[in-house]
Amino acid sequence: MKCRSARKMMSALIDGELRPAEKESLTRHIQDCGDCRKLHHEMLAVHDLFTAAGQHKAPRGFSKKVMAELRTERKSYSIFPVRIPLFLKLAEVGFAIAIVIVGIISGNILVMNVHSLEKARGIESSFSLDAFDPAPPDSLAGAYINFTEVRNER
Amino acid sequence: MNRTDDIDLISRFNSGEVSAYEELVLKYQDKIYTLCRYMLRNVHDAEDAAQDVFFKAYRNLKDFKPEASFYTWLYRIGINTCLDYRRKSFSASSFLQSLSGGITSPSDQSLFDTSPERLHELKETRKSIEFALAKMPEKLRAAIILREIEELTYEEIAEVLNSSIGTVKSRISRAREMLREILMKNI
């Protein structure tokens, strides 16, 4: 084995990722070559440094903080208490908008109708013949007409 | 890292049991926090980033495919979150902290039960590693942290980094060469 190939395989040797034949060949080379032996020792020292450093521990109360934040987010995130598919949420919003639009249109129609109704009443009253009734029922002439009509019927 | 346990917790969560997610957080919080510490070097950024990892995982858990490993999926979110943090927030606090060389914080739980000599030694070791890692390109750093600190196999690292095993092997080898050069100069 040449030193160049040995260098390439050295990292995999530390990680135990070499096939048995490769491992045997590299180990033999390291025993015979001073430079590669030195390199291997230094790489192992770096590896040992990482092992010594170990893992950090998450700050105290980390999981509680995460869960509290998620609970707050869940509350403020949605007005829907259960998970509803997006298309249903959109349909609900669309339905609300449709109601508002229908309300606006029907309100306009109503206002327009009230105006025309009032207008029609005005016109009707202006053409009414009630004002020209020659003998209103509570007048003397009206009483006379009623009296004669009753007598004629007999 | 037991895969069936994770799948069980995820299915419990998906059927509405939110406390199952807290169990997942407890199980992986140290690993994700460690990843963030070595990737970001800053205590506060690391804590924020680690929390973000769990928020993102929570929001996307319903899309998680059980044929993948939960922890490799979580590590992938972790690496991407840390890369985002590095791009977005090289904050004044990061700068000040890197000047003071402070790698520990009052909330560094791993140092609480340690003797003063061991504590000093551990701090120095971590400081050297963080110093060397900070000098490395992001891709090499991510690969070597996943291998040396998180002890993932080449196959798992390839899954996390979405690369081939050959690429992972080469990155780890280059990272070790670089670390050796940096650390041997400073020792």
Residue range of the domain that includes B73: 3-186
Q: What are phi and psi of B91, to 5 degrees?
A: -75, 170
Q: How many domains does chain B have?
A: 1
- When the pLDDT of each residue in chain A is averaged and rounded to a whole number, the result is 82
Radius of gyration for the alpha carbons in chain B, expressed in angstroms and rounded: 17
* Contact yes or no for A73 and B108 at CB 8 A: no
Residue A80 three-state SS:
coil
What does the pLDDT look like over B40-75, one tens digit per residue? Answer: 988 889 999 999 999 999 998 888 887 788 999 999
Q: Is B111 a residue whose pLDDT tops 80?
A: no
Residues of A with Cβ-Cβ distance to B63 under 8 angstroms:
none
DSSP letter at A18 equals: S
A59 touches chain B (CB under 8 A): yes
What does the pLDDT look like over B141-172, one tens digit per residue? Answer: 999 999 999 999 999 999 999 999 999 999 99
Q: Calculate how close chain A gets to B37, using CA atoms only, in Å.
A: 8
Distance from C-alpha of A96 to C-alpha of A98, rounded to nearest angstrom: 5
Which amino acid makes up residue B103?
Answer: I
Q: Which residue of B has its CA nearest to A7?
A: B173
Q: Are B176 and B148 in contact (CB under 8 A)?
A: no
Give the residue with greater pLDDT, B9 vs B109: B9
What does the pLDDT look like over A6-55, one tens digit per residue? Answer: 998 999 999 998 999 999 999 999 999 999 999 999 999 999 988 888 88
- When the pLDDT of each residue in chain B is averaged and rounded to a whole number, the result is 84
Q: Are A60 and B109 in contact (CB under 8 A)?
A: yes
Q: Calculate how close chain A gets to B94, using CA atoms only, in Å.
A: 18
What does the pLDDT look like over A49-101, one tens digit per residue? Answer: 888 888 889 999 999 999 998 888 777 655 555 566 778 888 888 999 999 99
A52 touches chain B (CB under 8 A): yes
Alpha helices by DSSP H, listed for A78-131, are 86-127
A66 touches chain B (CB under 8 A): yes
Neighbours of B107 (CB within 10 A): 15
Angle (nearest 5°) at CA A140 between A134 and A146: 80
CATH at B63? 1.10.1740.10
Q: Which residue of B has its CA nearest to A55?
A: B34
Residues of B with Cβ-Cβ distance to A40 under 8 angstroms:
none
Q: Are B26 and B9 in contact (CB under 8 A)?
A: no
B55 touches chain A (CB under 8 A): yes
Give the residue with greater pLDDT, B126 vs A31: A31
Q: Please, which residues have CB within 8 angstroms of residue B9's CB and are 6 or more apart in sequence?
A: B20, B21, B23, B24
Q: Could you tell me the pLDDT band of residue B81, with boundaries at 50, 70 and 90?
A: very high
What does the pLDDT look like over B93-106, one tens digit per residue? Answer: 554 454 444 444 44
